[in-house]
């Protein structure tokens, strides 16, 4: 096994040091090859092109700029669903959109905590949420912006919405007036 590896290494290194020949063809084009051609001359002193990377340091753009004093959020509100809105969705999926002014300060570690029926979720660095598999009925939403320590910075007013699902017990004409009766 050692002999096989040694032979492979010798073949590879001999290929790496193969001579390079240069000649000009009949059309005046300069050609290069590892096989000598009539009238070719061996090119001496070829060096591999190398690149040495600059030392790794902190980039100017990545240096932390001094943070200005944060004045707080002027507006925290739930944009969707609207207060007292009725949502028809058989699957029970509700999309929630939050409006903030100024924008969420993620660099400061701020997160949005969405409370559904008084149960807070884990904080997220997002202003749009999807609530899957909600049960039919009336639900309340509230949003709180918290800092990296979990302290509340600002809270939205509570929004109430009603989720309704179509009943399988109703005939098609009662579910959708545009459908004909069978």
- pLDDT, tens digit (0-9, with 9 covering 90-100), for 18-66: 678 888 888 889 888 888 888 888 888 767 778 888 888 766 655 565 5
Distance, in Å, from the CA atom of 182 to the CA atom of 179, rounded to the nearest integer, reads 9
Domain for residue 49, yes or no? no
| Cut 0.75: pTM above it | no
Q: What percent of the chain has pLDDT over 70?
A: 79
User: Which pLDDT value is given to residue 46?
Assistant: 67
Q: Which CATH number covers residue 133?
A: 2.60.40.10
Average pLDDT on 119-133 reads 89
The DSSP line for 45-92 is: --------PPPP---TTTSPPPPPPP---SEEEEEESPTTEEEE-SS-
Domain for residue 98, yes or no? yes
Our count of domains for the chain comes to: 1
Domain for residue 85, yes or no? yes
Per the structure, the complete domain to which residue 151 belongs is given by 75-164
């Amino acid at each position: 096994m050692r002999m096989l590896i040694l032979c492979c290494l010798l073949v590879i290194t001999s290929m790496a040091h193969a001579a390079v020949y240069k000649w000009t063809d009949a059309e005046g084009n300069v050609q290069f090859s590892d096989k000598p051609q009539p009238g070719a001359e061996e090119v001496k002193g070829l060096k591999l092109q190398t690149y040495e990377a600059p030392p790794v340091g902190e980039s100017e753009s990545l240096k932390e700029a001094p943070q200005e004093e944060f004045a707080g959020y002027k507006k925290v509100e739930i944009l969707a669903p609207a207060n007292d809105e009725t949502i028809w969705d058989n699957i029970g999926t509700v999309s929630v959109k939050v409006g903030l002014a100024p924008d969420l300060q993620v660099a400061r570690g701020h997160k949005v905590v969405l409370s559904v029926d008084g149960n807070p979720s884990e904080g997220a660095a997002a202003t749009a949420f999807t609530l899957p598999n909600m049960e039919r009925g009336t639900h309340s939403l509230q949003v709180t912006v918290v800092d990296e320590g979990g302290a509340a910075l600002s809270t939205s007013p509570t929004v109430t919405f009603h989720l309704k699902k179509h009943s399988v017990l109703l005939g098609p004409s009662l579910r959708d007036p545009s459908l004909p009766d069978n």
